[in-house]
């Protein structure tokens, strides 16, 4: 049961997300003493996003990579889409962070956690539906050919059977 659960993209997304969130918060806490909270959050988000792309590409959504047809162009395309979705996620994160910090009055760390949860939901939808969407495969010539008949067996002789 755990093996099946671990293979599910949603489970991998959550596991990677928790790891990247821990990284985000660690970087945030490290930078915070030397900057305003918003700058610490930007730095943490940028670091976490790049680590998250590699986790997403090589693990979370690895079953959606075009096996045998990966090119530098396809990797660059996914990286661009991922960073675009991360920019959107960052917008959600920044708005959520500032709202939680300045309007609701939560402490900086709690604001960062709340904003991360909101941006995770947004980026999951974008990642699964756009960045790492299942692409239809175009059949190759070999895929569309009829199976070759087995010529190793005896050749039927209809006239010999009429005895």
Residues 6+ apart with CB under 8 A from 97: 37, 38, 41, 111, 112, 114, 115
The rounded percent of the chain whose pLDDT value lies above 90 is 36
Joined together, the tokens standing for residue 131 give 């960045």
For residues 23, 26, 28, 32, the Cα torsion angle rounded to the nearest 10 degrees is: -160
Q: How far is CA 60 from CA 17, 82, 144, in A?
A: 10, 13, 31
Each residue's pLDDT tens digit, 58-68: 898 888 776 77
Burial of 99 (0-12, 13-18, 19+ CB in 10 A): middle
**pLDDT for the residue 124:** 85
Joined together, the tokens standing for residue 70 give 């990966």
- How far apart CA 65 and CA 58 sit, in angstroms, is 9
Instruction: Per-residue pLDDT tens, the chain, 163 aa: give them.
Output: 556 655 688 889 899 989 998 999 999 999 999 999 989 988 998 999 899 999 998 898 888 776 777 788 888 888 899 989 989 988 998 899 999 999 999 999 899 889 988 888 888 888 888 888 776 655 554 444 445 555 565 666 666 555 5
Each residue's pLDDT tens digit, 66-104: 677 778 888 888 889 998 998 998 899 889 999 999 999
For residues 94, 95, 98, 99, the Cα torsion angle rounded to the nearest 10 degrees is: -150
Domain that holds residue 117: 2-162
Residue 133 Cα to chain centre, angstroms: 9
What's the number of domains the chain is made of? Answer: 1
> Residue 145 gets which letter from DSSP?
S
């Amino acid at each position: 049961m755990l093996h099946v659960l671990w293979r599910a993209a949603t489970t991998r997304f959550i596991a990677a997300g928790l790891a990247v969130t821990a990284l985000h918060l660690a970087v945030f806490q490290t930078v915070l003493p030397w900057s305003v909270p918003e700058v610490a959050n930007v730095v943490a988000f940028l670091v976490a996003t790049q680590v998250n792309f590699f986790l997403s590409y090589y693990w979370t959504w690895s079953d959606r990579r075009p096996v045998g047809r990966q090119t530098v162009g396809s990797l660059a395309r996914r990286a661009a889409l991922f960073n675009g979705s991360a920019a959107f996620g960052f917008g959600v994160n920044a708005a959520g962070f500032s709202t939680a910090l300045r309007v609701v009055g939560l402490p900086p760390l709690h604001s960062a956690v709340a904003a991360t949860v909101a941006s995770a939901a947004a980026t999951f939808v974008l990642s699964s539906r756009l960045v790492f969407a299942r692409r239809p495969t175009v059949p190759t010539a070999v895929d569309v050919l009829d199976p070759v008949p087995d010529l190793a067996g005896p050749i039927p002789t209809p006239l010999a059977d009429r005895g």
